[in-house]
Amino acid sequence: MLGGSVAVDLPITRMERLAAGLNYLFLAGMLVAIAVVLTAAMVMQFARGELPCPLCLLQRVALFGVAFAVMQNFRAFSHRNTGIGLLFALLLLIVSVRQTLLDIVPRPDHAYVGSAILGLHMPVWSVIIATVLIAAQAIALALFGGERRVARLHVEAFPALARIADFAAAYLIVLAVINLAAVVVQCGFGACHTDSYKLLRLGVEGLWAP
């Protein structure tokens, strides 16, 4: 016989199926949680008129980045996608810590942007959310192991989780488009401010200009 090895498709064990199912359940939960957080932020913006500051917008970008990495893991689970998610979670932590430190002692004409939720302002919540995201992804890697145990079973093997993931991903894509449009209207093509939507203000001023 010639030397070498032959790849054999071994049957999927019960433990592998359990590990894959728990991993996809964890990913779906993360996707839904991010969708809830971003929905709350945008409700505060549109329903309560609390425009996001530049650092707030960076935190949204970081959350969308984590969500993108999770979506990619549903397509093909890999440590690379998880690493991308961890990097965006780290960005969220850095930006939110910076904003929290800036706001600990309010400067003249400067205070927390937006109202508090359960006694905490959004930058502080972002610190908590970022810490939870980093810890959760690290724990998931420790519990479910390497790619081989998960990659052999695609999420389609779990129809309920696949439907939840598809809906959450589509919803987050819509949120991303709405957020991008809102940023353009708020900031135009210059610096962002929280006093008004720049393009709307310029449009109104143009209508009333002599």
CA-based diameter of the chain, in Å?
92
Flag whether pLDDT at 200 surpasses 50. yes
Model confidence at 113, pLDDT cuts 50, 70, 90, reads low
Give CA–CA dist 57/59, Å, rounded. 5
Q: Name the region of 114 (left: φ>0; alpha: ψ -120 to 50; beta: rest).
A: left
Q: Between these two residues, 98 and 119, which has the higher pLDDT value?
A: 98
pLDDT in tens, 163-186: 999 999 999 999 999 999 888 888
Flag whether pLDDT at 98 surpasses 50. yes
The pLDDT value given to residue 106: 62
Give me the numbers of helices (H) and strands (E) for the chain, helices first please: 7, 0
The pLDDT value given to residue 107: 60
Q: Between these two residues, 201 and 62, which has the higher pLDDT value?
A: 62
Query: What residues contact residue 71 under an 8 Å CB cut-off, 6+ apart?
Result: 31, 165, 169, 172
Model confidence at 4, pLDDT cuts 50, 70, 90, reads very low
Which residues lie across from 120 on neighbouring strands?
A: 117
Flag whether pLDDT at 8 surpasses 80. no
What is the rounded average pLDDT of the residues 122-146? 84
The pLDDT value given to residue 87: 95
Model confidence at 120, pLDDT cuts 50, 70, 90, reads confident
The pLDDT value given to residue 179: 92
Amino acid at residue number 84: I
Give CA–CA dist 206/187, Å, rounded. 17
120 backbone dihedrals φ, ψ, rounded to 5°: -120, 140
Flag whether pLDDT at 209 surpasses 50. no
What's the whole-model pTM score? 0.81
